[in-house]
A = this chain, B = another copy of it.
Amino acid sequence: MSCCLVKLLPKVTLQLAASGIRLTKQREEVFAMLLQNSDHPTAAELFLRAKRRVPSISLATIYNCLEALVDSGLVKEVNLGRAPTRYCANLLEHSHFYCESCRAISDVETPFGGAWNLPPGFVVSQAEVSLRGLCPRCHQKEKQ
């Protein structure tokens, strides 16, 4: 178990508890995977990875764990078009950039810090910015 996770566990437990949710082995495993590897995996990808450590785990459990973690605010969903939902344990406010060449998803700063500049009266409770195009590396390659 990573040092980073160990340090976070009390916080995680508390944050789950605040939503009346227990920290189970499966939830810890899912959260640990998201911390360890910030490549924005899908539920199916997490399922494959999790089976290596908890062979009896089921895909439904992955979905349950993700739902619990999202509800408690420990994990964020990432939706890019209609592709399968991806998940992310980076809780700092940020947005996502999908590279059409290498298919990697980069965390990028939310433009203008989320000052949406809407007409008066709109109240924003949640925002999702999905950008797609070329990441710096692929853009560089393409120029050559």
Residues of A within 8 A of B (CB): 77, 79, 81-82, 85, 97, 100, 106, 108-109, 111-112, 115-137, 139-140
Contact = CB atoms under 8 A, between A and B. Distances in A.
24 contacts: A79-B79, A79-B81, A81-B128, A97-B122, A100-B125, A106-B122, A108-B116, A108-B122, A116-B131, A118-B131, A121-B135, A122-B134, A122-B136, A123-B133, A123-B134, A124-B131, A125-B132, A125-B134, A126-B131, A126-B132, A126-B133, A127-B131, A128-B129, A128-B130
Given A82-B79, A130-B127, A112 B117 contact: yes
Given A124-B132, A127-B131, A140-B121, A111 B111 contact: yes
A140 B130 CA distance: 30
Contacts of A140: 121
A118 B97 contact: yes
Contact of A109 (B117, B120, B127): B117
Contacts of A85: 82
Given A106-B122, A111-B112, 6 more contacts: A108-B118, A109-B117, A121-B140, A123-B139, A126-B133, A127-B130
